Chains A and B, each alone.
Chain A
Amino acid sequence: AQSVSQHNHHVILSEAASLELGCNYSYGGTVNLFWYVQYPGQHLQLLLKYFSGDPLVKGIKGFEAEFIKSKFSFNLRKPSVQWSDTAEYFCAATVYNAGNMLTFGGGTRLMVKP
């Protein structure tokens, strides 16, 4: 079955530390990949997405992600986190032409200490 895995469930960092959140998917075909962020008490917002082309994708708020096809990975990175990045982060994937079937990972809860 198709799945998305996020291996870090909870991450605690100090401000200015670098961030990398892991995401692996199990799809065999052409995939579309997403990172969503959910700030406390708010709904999901799209951080960035990968459809095709340059595997290094830049999103909002200084986030980026790299699609590595050989590793089935789409890790999220940020060089220097801020307290305001405290949130839960979700990786998601869908197979091209699979309609609306978006599969989410279990989420990573990030806490940034001031």
Chain B
Amino acid sequence: EAQVTQNPRYLITVTGKKLTVTCSQNMNHEYMSWYRQDPGLGLRQIYYSMNVEVTDKGDVPEGYKVSRKEKRNFPLILESPSPNQTSLYFCASSSRTSGRPYEQYFGPGTRLTVT
């Protein structure tokens, strides 16, 4: 089954404790993205990757890092989480080769709480 998976689905942590949220897709997509969803603000893009070893900042990259060492994986790293990073996070992927370059497939979400 074609899908985007994220782990963990729920995470409660404390300020300053480094964490990583994993994202994996099995559709051989070139593009992968991370978004955060906050009430009234919709989804805002954190980082995106156009292919392996190619990443770029989205609208709200501060406090986040990403890496793209393999095509299927795109982990989101919070080196020193703060309470304002409490949010719902979504990973997404899309392909340019299918003729539908901007149709993004979303993962199930990771609800992060930073105390």
Interface positions of A (Cβ within 8 A of B): 4, 6, 9, 32, 34, 36, 42-46, 49, 51, 90, 92, 94, 99-107
Contact = CB atoms under 8 A, between A and B. Distances in A.
Interface string B73-115: 0000000000000000010101000001011101111000000
A106 B50 CA distance: 25
Contacts of B19: none
10 residue pairs, one from A and one from B, having the closest CB atoms:
A104-B42, A104-B43, A100-B48, A44-B106, A106-B42, A100-B31, A43-B106, A43-B108, A107-B42, A32-B102
Contacts of B43: 44, 90, 92, 104
B41 interface: yes
B interface SS class: strand
Given A104-B42, A107-B40, 5 more contacts: A4-B42, A6-B42, A101-B45, A102-B102, A106-B41
A99 B41 CA distance: 22
Interface string B49-74: 11000000011000000000000000
